[in-house]
Amino acid sequence: MFFIAPDYFVSKVSLAVTTHLMNTYSRQPLAFTHGEGVWLWSTDGKKYLDGLAGIAVNGLGHNHPKLVKAICDQAARLIHTSNLFGVVEQEALATRLCELSGMQEAFFCNSGAEANEAAIKLAKYYGYKKGIENAKIIVMERAWHGRTLATLAATDSPKAKVGFGDLPGGFVRVPYRDFAAIEKAKAENPEIQAILMEVLQGEGGINVAEIEYLKELRKLCDANGWLLMIDEVQSGIGRTGEWFGYQHAGILPDVITLAKGLGSGVPIGACLAAGKAAGVMGPGTHGTTFGGGPLVCAAAMATLQTMDEDKLLANANEMGHLIRAVLTRELAGVAGVKEVRGRGLMIGLELWKPCAELVALGREKGLIINVTRDNVVRLLPPLIINKEESEMLAMGVAALVKEFLAQ
């Protein structure tokens, strides 16, 4: 049974003309009224296979009954009280996330950028408590950490920075997966107190850090008293086939940040700390009005519980292998295809030339896909995707790419 959108949500004007919205997005001429599992229906009644999951958000797919029930039940009980009081749902969620991640404490906020802001402040404050007035943080080339001023400074996207003047300083950028570059940065910057990085870069083009490199970073941080801070905003909550991407390397970071998949679509972010990063922040050092409210925490708890019950980590692994295998098989020997890569259901298909048009071509064929860094097709389907749907997605994308490259 589908929810029918009220009339005022079904746009009667051209979707390209969004006159009363601030013009921060080049939106596709498409909007949806409802979804079910990995499927979405547009305002003109067309059905789409969702290979993007709201940019790695809708892990449970659309309209999952357990999530819907948890949100409705919580909304009927209590929606918001503020962090001036205890929030039992927040306590429960922090406990569960710490069990899953090996972390010790959590700060809840409303987005990935906010989670990274909290991590950046934590690293600065960690340094301050050690007597370093302006602690520095190592960040990576091709990193994406958000669009607030500090997270934009940590992000490596010259295009996104144009026009915003002097961004907060204190970041030292090094090439991704280059251990020697970090050693060099260390020699030049005695104020370094932390590394902030993605174990698998999403916006940066689905770039996977080697297990050995991650282990070496852990050792380096231990040896220098630095915090290893892993941005799991995109790769976390089962996306790569483990709860968190760093778990593939068997390491434990000092700080992790989460958002996207955590609330399955309700806005929640989190910054978790362990070891020497735990206990750094005190009352008054950071805060938020909405963060960790009862409604979003209930949705996040339902997400984690459903992922367990429905064995979605195993499914992400299995379906990820399947999609990559089909893409590799179908595109073998096709000139213009560079590489298929990724972990779990975080999949990249790199071409030798820019391919942004594939998004519109996919749309015409009923496929929602994404292209990042100009020439990488990015697939982030819901974690509930089944075998038949995975094959449909991979075959559909392979056909699109062949058609595109043959032009």
Ligand X SMILES: Cc1ncc(COP(=O)(O)O)c(C=O)c1O
Provide CB contacts within 8 A for 102, sequence distance 6+: 252, 274
Cβ 330 to ligand X, closest distance in Å? Answer: 28
Nearest to 307 by CA among 239, 214, 208, 246: 239
Of the pair 94, 229, the CB lying nearest ligand X is at 229
Contact 124, 277 (CB under 8 A): no
In angstroms, the CA 310 to CA 385 distance is 11
> What is residue 301's three-state secondary structure?
helix
Q: What's the closest the beta carbon of residue 56 comes to ligand X, in angstroms? A: 7
CB 52 within 8 A of CB 369: yes
Range list of β-strands (E), 18-128 = 32-36, 39-42, 47-50, 105-109
Instruction: Provide, rounded to whole angstroms, the least separation between the CB of residue 227 and ligand X.
Output: 17
- Residue 50 or 203 with smaller CB distance to ligand X: 203
Count Cβ atoms below 10 Å from residue 303 Cβ, excluding itself: 29
Q: Give min distance, CB of 341 to ligand X, in A.
A: 17
| Dist CA 250 CA 241 (whole Å) | 14
Distance CA 44, CA 31 (A): 9
CB of 120 to ligand X, least distance (A): 12
**For ligand X, which is the closer residue by CB, 235 or 315?**
235
Residue nearest to ligand X (CB): 112
Residues that bind ligand X (CB under 6 A): 111-113, 116, 144-146, 198, 202-203, 231, 233-234, 259
Q: What are the phi and psi torsion angles at 271 (to 5°)? A: -120, 120
Nearer to ligand X, 203 or 254 (CB): 203
Can you tell me which residue has the tokens 């071509």?
A: 361
